Amino acid sequence: MSAVEEVLAAAAELVRTFGSGDVEGYFGCFAEDATFVFHSTPQVLESRAAYREEWASWERADGFRVLACTSSEQRVQDLGDVAVFTHRVRTRVHAAGEESELHERETIVFRRTGDGRWLGVHEHLSPEPAAAAG
């Protein structure tokens, strides 16, 4: 399997666990030192643990949960032991007693670990331009 195929498989697993509500599996797709930049969060989350704390605060405050997630327009830039994955995501969530669908673009930087696994080391999420304008 090529590095691009391996990264696509790692990204598919990340999307699958996220979309199915498998929170443990989802966070397991990221390195401990991963960083996260979300348009809905004012601060950069400097680690997987910080993101985990933020996620728990969403659950407590709003009853947040992911109901489904789909990925399209996937692209991988193979840079050796690092790869940049970009795609569009549609996520159905439940928060504050309501369901909504988010339309976003996402970049995830993956790093190959010593055992050959690809883990996310940086994630940047932004609203789709059409969604942001509407």
For 1-37, write each residue's pLDDT tens digit. 999 999 999 999 999 999 999 999 999 999 999 999 9
End-to-end CA distance of the chain: 41
Q: What is the dihedral of CA 28, 33, 34, 40, to 10 degrees?
A: 100
CATH at residue 25? 3.10.450.50
Does residue 86 surpass a pLDDT of 60?
Answer: yes
Q: Distance between CA 5 and CA 111 in Å, rounded?
A: 14
Alpha carbon distance 73, 71 (integer Å): 7
pLDDT in tens, 53-80: 999 999 999 999 999 999 999 999 999 9
In contact, 113 and 81? CB cutoff 8 Å: no
Query: What residues make up the domain containing 72?
Result: 3-133
Query: How many domains does one find in the chain?
Result: 1
**What mean pLDDT do residues 44-48 have?**
98
